[in-house]
Structure 1
Amino acid sequence: MYWDAMIVKPLARYRIYVEIQDGRKGVFDMKPYLDHGVFRELKELHYFNQVGIVLGAVTWPNEQDIAPETLLAEMQPLASTSSPGEALDRESPPESRP
């Protein structure tokens, strides 16, 4: 469907970069969810970084997922020319940039 995630990459500070099938790109902040239910497991950074896509949905190995409507409503859009590296660069403090 038009809201299927095509690319997802973990970013610093519990954020993920997402590209949607219809061409939208953005960054979704998972921090507000980390103290709730099944999402608590995502606090472990190694596990958080295992984010992937199953049937167009952003998921983790133990079946945590983000509802597509939540993803689209809350992700911060990026310009169509932006890349995951640019999103990460914008979110990093200046002293950590190369």
Structure 2
Amino acid sequence: MYPKVKEVKASSDYTLLITFDNGKKKIYDFSPLLDQDNFLDLKNIALFKAAQVDAGGYGVTWPNGADISEYALWVDGKEIID
């Protein structure tokens, strides 16, 4: 079982700052995914920055229906050491 997403902040460089419910923080570089069909709309930076935590913390969603799982964010994100 992977930690759930507690908070997300999307940046202009197409990264997500994710805070998980275990207190760890990770940066996820979303830019490599922007050429996939289901994420093309997220090239619009205003839409990308509208990222929200999915109900229950199971990932991150956007108003257009795009989403990414907590698994991908946890496994592929780079941990931030405070």
Give the TM-score taking structure 2 as reference length: 0.88
* C-alpha deviation, 1:2, in angstroms: 5.1
Structure 1: 5+ residue runs without aligned partners?
82-98
Give the count of matched residue pairs: 80
RMSD: 1.4
Q: Which residue of 2 aligns with 1:68?
A: 70
Within a 5 Å distance, the mapping from 1:1-98 to structure 2 comes to: 3-55=3-55, 56=57, 57-79=59-81, 81=82
Q: Give the CA deviation at 1:12.
A: 2.9
- Greater fraction strand: 2
Aligned-partner Cα distance in 2 for 1:15–1:68: 15
Aligned partner letter, 2:14: Y
The aligned amino acid for 2:68 is: I
1:68 and 1:10 map into 2 onto residues whose CA distance is 15
| Max Rg structure | 1
Report percent identity of matched pairs. Answer: 30
Between 1:25-34 and 1:1-10, the stretch displaced more is 1-10
Contact 1:3 1:68 (8 Å CA) reproduced: yes
Counterpart AA for 1:34? L
